[in-house]
């Protein structure tokens, strides 16, 4: 077995031993640090919701059976922590959808990263924003300057649509040895990414590694 295969096997084993709450915390950190919206962790969120329901049912059983207050408080703390992480993760995503509604709604790739409920929310936000801008501003502007997405008819692209700055520098930590990694398109910037090391790099350069789960944002 090659060293690369060994690294991949070790990473898979470590991932399998990680609890869903820890995975949710990782997803929350990545979402918080990434300038763009990441893919919705649907299977993970479903499992966490099931665990929350189980914890709530367990606490109800404890209340009926007179279990020691210390045990109840420990379970309640675990439930509160999990609820906080889940709500914060979902709230972060909704904030990004609100901020980049027009940009997301015009990209099939970005829309595919959203959950069904998030896609509905994005569609609703876009419709409300367009209606509000039309009624309050655009209807009062001269022809050629009444577009939601472009400054004027002479604009060749949607220059009025806010987009995430993918060239933003982010803190990140490698989960396994990546080796020599090219940071630009022409190969002039190369860095050796070693397992468990911390780096400050442009998000755009490591976007693929983040999506592939080989780098965590912090």
What angle, rounded to 10 degrees, do the helices at 42-65 and 69-99 form? 150
SS3 content of the chain, % helix, strand, coil (to 5): 60, 10, 30
Q: Which domains, and CATH codes, for the chain?
A: 18-162 (1.20.58.1030), 165-217 (3.40.5.60)
Cα–Cα distance, 56 to 141 (Å, whole number): 55
The owner of tokens 């990441």 is 38
pLDDT of res. 216: 95
Residues in the chain: 218
| C-alpha span between 203 and 69 (Å, rounded) | 47
pTM: 0.84
Residue 1: its pLDDT value, please? Answer: 45
- pLDDT at position 160 is 80
What confidence score (pLDDT) does residue 186 get?
A: 65
Return per-residue pLDDT of the chain as tens, 218 residues: 444 454 444 444 444 447 899 999 999 999 999 999 999 999 999 999 999 999 999 888 888 887 888 888 998 999 999 999 999 999 999 999 999 999 999 899 999 999 999 999 999 998 998 888 888 887 777 777 777 777 777 667 777 888 999 999 999 999 989 888 888 766 678 889 999 999 999 999 999 999 999 999 99
């Amino acid at each position: 077995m090659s060293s690369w295969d060994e690294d991949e096997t070790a990473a898979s084993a470590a991932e399998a031993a990680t609890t869903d709450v820890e995975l949710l915390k990782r997803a929350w950190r990545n979402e918080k640090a990434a300038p763009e919206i990441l893919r919705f962790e649907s299977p993970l969120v479903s499992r966490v919701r099931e665990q929350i329901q189980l914890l709530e049912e367990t606490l109800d059983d404890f209340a009926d059976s007179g279990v020691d207050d210390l045990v109840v408080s420990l379970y309640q703390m675990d439930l509160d922590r999990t609820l906080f992480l889940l709500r914060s993760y979902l709230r972060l995503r909704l904030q990004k959808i609100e901020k980049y509604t027009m940009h997301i709604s015009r990209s099939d790739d970005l829309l595919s990263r959203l959950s069904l409920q998030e896609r509905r929310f994005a569609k609703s936000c876009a419709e409300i924003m367009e209606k509000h801008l039309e009624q309050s501003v655009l209807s009062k502007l001269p022809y050629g300057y009444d577009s939601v997405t472009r400054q004027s008819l002479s604009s060749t692209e949607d220059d009025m649509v806010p987009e995430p700055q993918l060239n933003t520098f982010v803190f990140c930590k490698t989960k396994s040895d990546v080796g020599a990694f090219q940071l630009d398109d022409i190969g002039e910037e190369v860095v050796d990414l070693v397992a468990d090391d911390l780096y400050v790099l442009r998000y755009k350069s490591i976007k693929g590694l983040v999506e592939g789960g080989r780098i965590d944002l912090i």
